Amino acid sequence: MSIQRKLALGAAAIAMSLAAYSAKAEELKLAHFASTKYPLHVELMTPLSEQIAEKSGGDLTIRIYPGGELGAGPAKQYDRAVDGVADITLALPGYTASQFKKTLLVELPGVVPAGKDVTATFWDNIDEVSKEFRRTKLLALWSNPPGVLMTANKPIRSLEDVKGLKIRVPSKNVGRVAAAWGATPVSMPITEVYNSLATGVIDGVLVDASVLNSFKLKEVANHVTTGMNSTNSPMMLVMNRDSWKDLGEEKQAVLEGLAGATLSEAGRKTQAAGAERALKAFSDMGKEIIELSPEEAAKFNAATDALIEEVVAELESDGVDAGAYVNALRQ
């Protein structure tokens, strides 16, 4: 056989091998709304992409699209997974609250008792809310640390101090909490909060402390108040159903092995550590962290005591078995 013939056959074999690998390998698009410095990008999504590639031997990979590259802002991230704009998205159930009525009950103070792990409680009762995720494949669901009150100009030392303030909230339920405290809730994506707080469009924010760093709110907020029973904001990684089905059983098994409660716990830890770092950085800047006195904290808590029964009654009237779910979360 001539050298030219051998070279031709070798080239053909390489081409066939590459074609076979190309047909076998699959890349998923994971979209989120924050920067590449965002803790969840660095500590959750990037390790997930590395682990997927390793566990699948390169047959399955994830390419991350940060900063709204596949669509700006956090509010529509869930829809982008449903519609297949991205294969996987980082989303907040609170932005599409009508889809997640039972899931979002954990936002209300006292639904999950203080000190209990909200994320673990989610997964202990995940079958109770599985229908709410039927439009996507749920990969992870976790809770951020409890919300704190961040204000630009007015320190909050009592319930009376909150009255009349315009407080940004991430969802309807959190808005009800703010209203129970006497504030005017304002709904807006977290990406719009910096300018709104800096210019006085809003007076404050009710959200977990990690955003002081990740969305630079420490630059425009001057006071943080803690100590009351507060809200919990769930976050999730969801996957387009067709993208999931197209993976096939082997690749599904790889992704499934890294997802669920394990991935959710990683999300919880990332957010908790981020909140701790952010509060320290805020304090190091000489800004004020206020711990409510027990007497004032009790006033905040009393103001929201009736919310659980109100919301459960509303959902039950809409045919949602909310009471049983709340009882399960409280166990």
Q: Report whether 291 contacts 299 (CB < 8 A).
A: no
Mean pLDDT, range 67-75, rounded to an integer: 93
pTM of the predicted model as reported, rounded to 2 decimal places: 0.89
Q: Has residue 43 got a pLDDT over 70? A: yes
Handedness of CA 174, 176, 179, 181 (dihedral sign): negative
Structural domains of the chain sorted by starting position, each given as residue range(s) with its CATH number in brackets: 25-143+233-274 (3.40.190.170), 148-231+285-330 (3.40.190.170)
The tens digit of pLDDT for each residue in 177-235 reads: 999 999 999 999 999 999 999 999 999 999 999 999 999 999 999 999 999 999 999 99
Q: CA 311 to CA 208: how far, in whole Å?
A: 22
The tens digit of pLDDT for each residue in 139-178 reads: 999 999 999 999 999 999 999 999 999 999 999 999 999 9
Q: Give the pLDDT score at 115.
A: 85
Q: Give the pLDDT score at 89.
A: 98
Phi and psi based region of residue 221 (left: phi greater than 0; alpha: psi -120 to 50; beta: remaining): beta
